[in-house]
Chain A
Amino acid sequence: MAIIAEAKHLKAYYITQSYGIERTVKAVDDISLEIKEKEILGIAGESGCGKSTLLKALLGTIDPPLKIVDGTMQYEFEESYNVLSMSKDEIKQIRWTKVSYIPQGSMHVLNPVRKIRDTFHDFIATHQNLNKSETTQLSQDYLQKLGLSGQVMNAYPHQLSGGMRQRATIALATILSPKLVFADEPTTALDVLVQRGVVQLLKEIQQREGSTLVLVSHDMGVHANLADRIAILYAGKLVEEADTRSIFKNPLHPYTQYLIESLPRLDDKTERSSIPGRPPALDNPPEGCRFHPRCPHAMDICTKEVPPLVDMGGGHKTACFLVSEEKT
């Protein structure tokens, strides 16, 4: 499959200076990632591991104190775009029409004093030269296609239920048929029924439009249901990347193993352990492999050297000396 976006050795740090003391938070540290056309790529990891920062870098929304220290990020549509060297205006040209973004808190995204109809109009009219009745028609048709009720258009955001609000946001983000959609925790803070409705909608849009979806979430259950491939982040590093089945059935990195092991399941009450220790602070991460202080298999080399991301065959990549040593 063709590659639609590619990050190479991306390093995005938050650099702040106060009273002459410089503090660097290495939120994304040397991450290389390929996003294939028409796939659903899940990015998983706990809070503070750099998921959102990675997304910012992938989207090219770099604002101080965030700085891209190193690396490249490229979109490959009809022509290729080098995201990190594009100006704000150039990014605006492709935002929503080619590359789209579904934000996390749908509560705060929609303008509370405008009806959904007006929000849709404002949004479409910025990109296409249409008048109000045309945009209303267009958005009504689109909502209908997605199976959402027409009532939505005449409501104010606060009148909608949480799930409907999130789905209206998704409709808004995808109405201009973008090729590449990034979703940042689209189901967090929604309850299970609504979550299922939202996941259903995301999948439907992705399949009908033939677009590519990058889904950032900490919920492994959602990934299992939706993603084709999963990348696991830990403390600003990519530790494992594989197709969904391999991640769940045959995780190689000790962190992934713990993560899968600790998931509670229905119809099973046996004791589940959680990962010992705590995630490291990113302004002063441990030397070598960043997981070594919590890892039960830590070796000498883990404390000194950073394990490279190695392909173990079949596109299953992992960054762990334990696994890569065995292979050699």
Chain B
Amino acid sequence: MIHNTDENLLDIADLTKVFSLRQGFSTTKLVAVDKASFVLKATQPEIVALAGESGSGKTTVARMILGLTEPTSGIIRYKNKNLTQLTRQEKRSWFLKEVQPIFQNPFATFSPLKRIETYLFETASNYNVVEKENVNQYVDDILNLVGLSLAEISGRYPNELSGGQAQRVSVARALITAPSLLVADEPVSMVDASLRMSIVNLFRQLKDEQAVSVLYITHDLATAYYAADRIAIMLGGWIVEYGSVEKVLGQPLHPYTQNLKQSIPDPDPDRKWEGQINLAVLETDEFTNMGCKYASRCPEVMEVCKQKIPTDFLVEDRTVKCFLYEDKNQA
């Protein structure tokens, strides 16, 4: 796909990360992310989900976008600037304000010994976002956005809040610098079931009302479908299918996505799972396959899948990394 780069908030092209694992004298290379490409559009705020099983490289992508891990190769452009070439000054005064993280476990995000509102005030003063005399009002306004108020959380420690509330404060902290992009890594997986939807709804609301884009990383496809506009499915470091959620999860084309969709436990006793599935035996199996990483488990495996790595084919408004669609390629 050819993109006009001006239209993209975040443009990731051929992003690769190779980890070298040393065991005694031998070194094994593990390709955690392999030529991943996707974009977040700038024309309108959107929520893009990055989904896949554990170990598929979701978090590594997030860490590279946040600048916590150096990419081995590939380019990350944010608002048309190459992130790996930013100076420290630029990074601090511009990039860190623009892109903010939200982590998985709200209780690990905050120190249990600090009052929770200090994080909000410290972020405000570190980034100089508001004059000192107005800071209380500013923090209160931000907390209102996430459905809390300063009076409610002031003087309280993280353990006095529920998981949902603490995660809201975590979102509020990220919003202090008025970012354009939130990178949320599994933001609901540690939150109580009854409060989970409140966090997902919050992302939808922020997108609509505050024009904040969200990169929503999750393994929960049901909430991804609910919240996101577009989705990228990851498998062994690849993005195997990428397009709008209605297309990708509505009518999945890649056999892996099809398998994933069927495996979502439907909260309806009338629709139970049927049939059997194959799972990988050893952790490293899929990373060391010659051809397609899904070949050993794929129900529609062909000879070519074991020899060659598939490229991205453009089929029905989405990209699919599978030889099944070689003939239908529209690009």
Q: Which residues of A come within 8 Å of B, CB atoms?
A: 46-48, 149, 151-152, 155, 158-164, 189-197, 199-200, 218-225, 244-245, 248-249, 258-260, 262-269, 271-275, 278-279
Contacts and interface: CB of A to CB of B under 8 A. Distances in A.
B195 A266 contact: no
A200 B275 CA distance: 9
Contacts of B280: 161, 163-164
B163 A272 contact: no
B146 to A, nearest CB: 13
A258 B280 CA distance: 37
Interface in B265-283: 265-269, 272-273, 276-277, 279-283
A222 B265 contact: yes
Interface in B157-179: 162-165
A181 B55 CA distance: 30
Nearest to B189: A189
Nearest to B160: A281
B282 A221 contact: no
Give 5 nearest A-B pairs by CB, closest first.
Answer: A221-B265, A191-B53, A278-B162, A274-B197, A274-B198
Contacts of A161: 279-283, 285
A279 B162 contact: yes
B59 interface: no
A272 B273 contact: no
Given A46-B194, A259-B193, A152 B281 contact: yes
Nearest to B164: A278
26 contacts: A46-B193, A159-B284, A161-B279, A161-B280, A161-B281, A162-B54, A162-B55, A164-B280, A191-B52, A192-B265, A193-B259, A193-B277, A200-B273, A219-B265, A220-B267, A221-B222, A221-B266, A225-B269, A260-B267, A262-B194, A264-B200, A264-B223, A264-B226, A265-B268, A274-B198, A278-B192
Given A47-B163, A266-B249, A224 B194 contact: no
B269 A224 contact: yes
B53 to A, nearest CB: 4
A194 to B, nearest CB: 6
B109 interface: no
B279 A163 contact: yes
Contacts of A163: 279-280
B219 interface: yes
B329 interface: no
A69 to B, nearest CB: 25
Contacts of B240: none
Contacts of B54: 162, 189-191
A296 to B, nearest CB: 14
Contacts of A218: 193
A221 B259 CA distance: 16
